[in-house]
């Protein structure tokens, strides 16, 4: 098993370190020592010597990242930057087991925690999850109240973990419909994590794609009425800047995953999904784990994204 060299440069120093390499095919580990490369000095022999020693070594990992954490068969350079997920099938998962609906929602929350961890490990930059749609408000009052309480408890309980893991939390959707206590928890989570950069977790709660486009149009119309923009200024870029996904650097998902075997987008990110690759999983959301995520990512990496052009 061969690995390419990674040059690590620390200015004005040459430090002898010990590096643990990947296990060889036999499963045994081995160690090699080398000098970190000092920036070249004019005519200096020591820098050349250290550089040659460095080039002769095989370094296969970086601090904080173990190669074993990355799934075999996936290519790191082809990983999507933004993954969106429609979390479908919580209630059906519960009913199939003779359980009440709330048990499915709790199990679904645990699956979401696992997915967040996987995105952090595999360096996916944005994860947007369709947690509660505008249409979901028509469900029974008891179920809606349970879901709102679950959101509140989950955000509270995971906030410290998000801070520790450098996860930024944003919530998109019509927040005016949410309970006041949940609005306050969301505000605290967004404010306390806004500088985090490892993963941007976007929770779509009380969200609808049509509503998102409509509110963007209203905002643009308001600016036009006030004289801030002209008719000629209105284009796709301007609309994008008014959509709720303006909160992220990558507003367009590369991959959309929907669970539970349904083959529709259900009013989710209608503008943003224009060139997104779709993957439909048969399992209900609580059963969607690492193996299923790897399957979706593998499918994504096997596709050619042409954006209307040629191969």
Is 291 designated active site? Answer: no
Q: How far apart are the first and last CA of the chain?
A: 32
How far apart are the C-alpha atoms of 205 and 182, rounded to whole Å? 11
From 56, 57, 88, 233, active-site residue: 88
Task: Give the other-Cβ count within 10 Å of 301's Cβ.
Answer: 16
* CB-CB contact of 59 with 3 (8 Å): yes
Q: Which residues pair with 256 in a beta bridge?
A: 84, 278
Task: Give the other-Cβ count within 10 Å of 147's Cβ.
Answer: 21
Task: Give the other-Cβ count within 10 Å of 112's Cβ.
Answer: 21
Say which residues have a Cβ less than 8 Å from residue 105's Cβ, sequence separation at least 6. Answer: 90, 91, 94, 146, 147, 150
Task: Give the other-Cβ count within 10 Å of 142's Cβ.
Answer: 11
The separation between CA 123 and the C-alpha centre of its own chain, rounded to angstroms, equals 8
Helices 180-193, 141-164: axis angle to 10 degrees equals 20
Active site residues: 88
């Amino acid at each position: 098993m061969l690995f390419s060299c990674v040059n690590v440069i620390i200015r004005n120093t040459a430090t002898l370190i010990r590096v643990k390499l990947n296990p060889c095919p036999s499963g045994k580990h081995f160690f090699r020592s080398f000098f970190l490369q000092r920036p070249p000095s004019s005519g200096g022999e020591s820098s050349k010597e250290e550089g040659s020693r460095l080039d002769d070594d095989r370094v296969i990992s970086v601090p904080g990242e173990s190669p074993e954490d990355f799934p075999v068969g996936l290519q790191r350079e082809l990983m999507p930057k933004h993954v969106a997920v429609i979390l479908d099938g919580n209630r059906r998962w519960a009913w199939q087991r003779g359980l009440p609906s709330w048990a499915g929602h709790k199990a679904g929350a645990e699956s979401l925690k696992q997915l967040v961890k996987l995105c952090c490990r595999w360096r996916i930059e944005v994860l947007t999850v369709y947690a509660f749609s505008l249409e979901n408000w028509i469900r029974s009052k008891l179920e809606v109240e349970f879901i709102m309480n679950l959101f509140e408890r989950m955000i509270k309980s995971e906030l410290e973990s998000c801070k520790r893991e450098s996860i930024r939390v944003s919530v998109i959707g019509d927040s005016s419909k949410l309970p006041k206590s949940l609005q306050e928890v969301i505000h605290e989570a967004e404010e306390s994590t806004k500088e985090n950069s490892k993963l941007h977790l976007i929770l779509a709660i009380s969200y609808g794609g049509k509503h998102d486009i409509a509110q963007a149009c209203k905002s643009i119309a308001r600016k036009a009425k006030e004289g801030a923009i002209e008719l000629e200024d209105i284009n796709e870029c301007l609309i994008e800047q008014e959509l709720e996904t303006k909160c992220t650097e990558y507003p367009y998902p590369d991959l959309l995953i929907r669970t539970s075997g349904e083959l529709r987008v259900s009013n989710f990110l209608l503008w943003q999904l224009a060139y997104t690759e779709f993957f439909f999983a048969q399992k209900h959301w609580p059963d969607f784990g690492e193996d299923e995520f790897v399957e979706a990512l593998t499918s994504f990496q096997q596709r050619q994204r042409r954006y209307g052009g040629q191969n």
